[in-house]
Amino acid sequence: MMNGIDISKWQKGLNLSKIKFDFAIIKATEGATYRDPSFSDFIKQAKDLGKPFGFYHYARPENNTAHAEVVNFYNAVKDYIGQGIPVLDWESSAKHNVKWAKQFLDEFYSLTGVKAVIYMSESVANEYNWTDVANADYGLWVARYRDYRPDFNYDMSNAGKKPSVKWWKFYAMWQWTSSGRLDGWSGNLDCDVFYGDVKAWNAYAGKTKEVEKPVETKPVEEKPVEKVYIVKRGDTLTKIAKAYKTTVDALVKKNNIKDKNKIFVGQVLKV
């Protein structure tokens, strides 16, 4: 069992070397375009300390397609795939849209070969039918708090009853307080317990795989991951083409665009 924290820009200034933790899960993205400004700094700190880490995407299913949000998340974390645990944070509105969550998880898995964990409250885990997500072997990180009184240095004596969930046989992590206090930091922290060791953590991250004896096979050419761009307000194909050192005609052909003068905000373009 390991004790850790999840953090974002709201903990800006936190020096991870000054606190005790076994792992840290760090916010990377939200919605279709947002990137957390503290993500890179916290990732670097965790890596420099040799600590297990994860990174999460805060879903906005009420505003965007799952595909657009996968693209945002993937582009932010692609350099850390296979190093840390990816997480889909499911706590915005439209929590009922299980199909959206499953699509996000499936598309991210298709891109990376790593199955993300999904985070949600105990009530959300039990209110909706998560059979397809659980049966697809996407792990669960569940939140349940007894209260909002401070808990110091991972003392779980007042954590209360463990969560109980329907669709998963077990959960990987429990976020048991949002009022955690650790020596070395003056503010509140979300504190979590991971039910495994570093080897188990690495397995969730896709870091450890079975090693098979080599067999004689024909080499398979690896296909590069296709770069994509999400159109923002004020964009034109000319502007995008210049930024990616390509041509308008190439973008039109690659994306089957009928009118090169008409693109729309949120449109996903292959670049």
Whether 135 and 259 map to the same domain: the answer is no
Tens of pLDDT, residue by residue over 108-163, are 999 999 999 999 999 999 999 999 999 999 999 999 998 888 999 999 998 989 99
**Whole-prediction pTM:** 0.76
CB 200 within 8 A of CB 232: no
Give the least confident one: 103-107, 190-194, 249-253: 249-253
Whether 21 and 105 map to the same domain: the answer is yes
Name the E strands within 59-149.
85-89, 117-121, 140-143
Q: Are strands 2-7 and 23-30 parallel, antiparallel or unpaired?
A: parallel
* Residue 40, domain member (yes or no): yes
Coil, strand or helix at 38: coil
Tens of pLDDT, residue by residue over 199-231, are 999 999 997 543 333 333 344 343 444 577 777
Residue 172, CA distances (Å) to 52, 106, 168, 196, 254 in order: 15, 19, 10, 8, 41
- How many structural domains are present in the chain? 2
Whether 199 and 245 map to the same domain: the answer is no
Count the neighbouring beta carbons within 10 Å of the beta carbon of residue 112. Answer: 19
Q: How far apart are CA 181 and CA 193, in angstroms?
A: 15
Q: How far apart are CA 222 and CA 238, in angstroms?
A: 31
Whether 194 and 260 map to the same domain: the answer is no
With a CB cutoff of 8 Å and minimum separation 6, the contacts of 208 are 199, 202
Range of the domain at 138: 2-205
Whether 84 and 170 map to the same domain: the answer is yes
With tokens 């779980």, the residue in question is: 156
* Residue 217, domain member (yes or no): no
CB 231 within 8 A of CB 263: yes
Whether 193 and 235 map to the same domain: the answer is no
* Residue 210, domain member (yes or no): no
In this prediction, residue 62 carries a pLDDT of 96
To the nearest 10 degrees (0 to 180), the angle between helices 98-112 and 66-77 is 40
* Residue 75, domain member (yes or no): yes
Whether 181 and 233 map to the same domain: the answer is no
Whether 38 and 79 map to the same domain: the answer is yes
In this prediction, residue 24 carries a pLDDT of 98
